[in-house]
Structures are given as C-alpha cells and as structure tokens.
C-alpha cells in the first residue's frame, strides 16, 4: 500500500541525517496522499541507520494505523491535525535542530533580518505559545497541532506563505508540497535561525546598529520567488 510514497518518506527521513538536522532517533517526516486520505510517517524511536522503506507506517486522518508492523512516530497526532487543517500541504517535518530549537526555547519569533529570510517566508517565523498543563496532560501531541493552527489563525498567517513554526519550549515544524520540500524548508529554517542569532549578536557590538529589513525589500524577495509573477529560477 502506497509503496511509492513510503519510499519517498523513507528517503526524506534520511535527508534529515544528511543535513545534520537530527541526532539519534530525533525527528520525523511524513507525507500524505490526498486522494486516499492516508499518510505515511516514520516509525517511533527507530534509528535512522536501520530503518527501511517497509518500516514506514500508513495512517488515516482519524488516527488509525492502516498498515505497518511498527508504532508510528509519537508526533503522529500533530501531523494528523496539520494535514486536516492545512489542506494544501503534502509533507511535514519535525526536528529538534539546535538553532531553531534555541529560538523556540526562548519563546521568540525568528525575525526577518535580510533577503535570505525573505526568500523563504514573507515575515517572521512565528513562535506559537507553549501548551498549558491541561493540554500537556491531555492529548499532548494533538494539542500541539491545534496550538499551531491557532497561532496561524490568530495572526492571519497563511501556511503557504510561511512553511514553518516554532513551539515555545519544544521545537520546529515545517511543511511543503511534499516530503522533500518539507525537509528543504527545515534546512532553510535552521540556516535563517542561525543567521538571525548571529545578526543580533554582532549588532550588539555596534554603536549604530541598523538591523531589520525594509517591508518593500522583504516583499520584493518573497514575491519574486513565490508570488503570482515570480521569476526566480527556471520556469
């Protein structure tokens, strides 16, 4: 069942290791087949150097395991909620990459300080609130997804324009049209998180610090790559 999608999700999970976005068994990638309403996700707690495409777990959007010998990732309910609410996404990544996690643990959005960030998203990467005690003690992973959706709704952010979020005291989630794009977005997120930290650190030594990006420059870089009349790359 969904053998081609299993292979893609397997390969995307290995990319997390290749790009140094995970250690040990941390992190997971999933992808959805919208036609069947089923998604494929990494199994829980299995080392990356031993997993196979056959180990990938098939789930439905009600949280039922449809196929697989192993337990799905413990973060599966978060993926499930994002697939249900963000109808246009096709793949999701969760990591505990160190630079993005540092911003998440600080409870801060990642500000847009330059055009590298603007090529990625049209504004700051939001840090959603931490979960309450009752949310943690209840359906923790499902509530994590609900908090992400709540944050995007509250701020009026489109998940198509910002393919990433931080959860306060937790870490990042990214998404994209498929599993590979979600991994790419996780890699870019880690880089812009690193750049933002360094920008703030360096500016702290300047008498006349001038960090930040003008709205018109931010919008230009985002639109030329992602807008209706985008002209970046080969089209």
pLDDT over 90 for what percent of the chain? 85
Candidates 119, 140, 197, 219; catalytic one: 119
What does the domain layout of the chain look like in residue ranges?
3-226
119 is catalytic: yes
Residue 209 has pLDDT above 80, yes or no: no
Q: Work out the end-to-end distance of the chain between its first and last CA atoms, rounded to an integer number of angstroms.
A: 34
pLDDT tens digits along 139-155? 999 999 999 999 999 99
120 is catalytic: no
Indicate the DSSP class of residue 131.
Answer: P
Question: Are 231 and 224 spatial neighbours (Cβ–Cβ below 8 Å)?
Answer: yes
For 3-226, which CATH class?
Answer: alpha beta
pLDDT tens digits along 162-193? 999 999 999 999 999 999 999 999 999 999 99
Question: Are 87 and 68 spatial neighbours (Cβ–Cβ below 8 Å)?
Answer: no
Q: Tell me which residue of 131, 121, 113 sits closest to 163, measured CA to CA.
A: 121
Q: Tell me which residue of 179, 186, 159 sits closest to 99, measured CA to CA.
A: 186
pLDDT tens digits along 61-104? 999 999 999 999 999 999 999 999 999 999 999 999 999 999 99
Task: Write down the pTM of the prediction.
Answer: 0.92
Candidates 60, 88, 153, 232; catalytic one: 232
Residue 205 has pLDDT above 80, yes or no: no
């Amino acid at each position: 069942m969904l053998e081609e999608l299993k292979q893609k999700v397997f390969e995307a999970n290995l990319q997390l290791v290749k790009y140094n976005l995970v250690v040990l068994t941390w992190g997971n990638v999933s992808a959805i087949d919208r036609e069947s309403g089923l998604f494929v996700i990494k199994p829980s707690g299995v080392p990356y150097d031993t997993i196979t495409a056959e180990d990938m777990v098939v789930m439905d959007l009600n949280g039922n395991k449809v196929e697989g010998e192993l337990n799905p990732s413990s973060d599966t309910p978060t993926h499930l909620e994002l697939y249900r609410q963000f109808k246009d996404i096709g793949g999701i990544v969760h990591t505990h990459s160190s630079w993005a996690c540092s911003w998440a643990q600080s409870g801060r959005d990642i500000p847009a300080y330059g055009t590298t960030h603007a090529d990625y998203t049209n504004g700051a990467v939001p840090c959603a609130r931490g979960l309450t005690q009752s949310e943690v003690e209840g359906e923790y992973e499902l509530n994590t997804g609900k908090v992400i959706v709540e944050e995007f709704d509250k701020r009026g952010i489109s998940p198509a324009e910002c393919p990433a979020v931080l959860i306060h005291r937790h870490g990042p989630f990214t998404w994209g049209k498929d599993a590979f794009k979600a991994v790419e977005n996780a890699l870019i997120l880690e880089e812009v998180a690193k750049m933002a930290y360094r920008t703030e650190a360096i500016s702290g030594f300047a008498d006349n610090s001038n960090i930040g990006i003008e709205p018109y420059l931010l919008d230009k870089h985002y639109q030329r790559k992602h807008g209706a009349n985008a002209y970046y790359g080969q089209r």
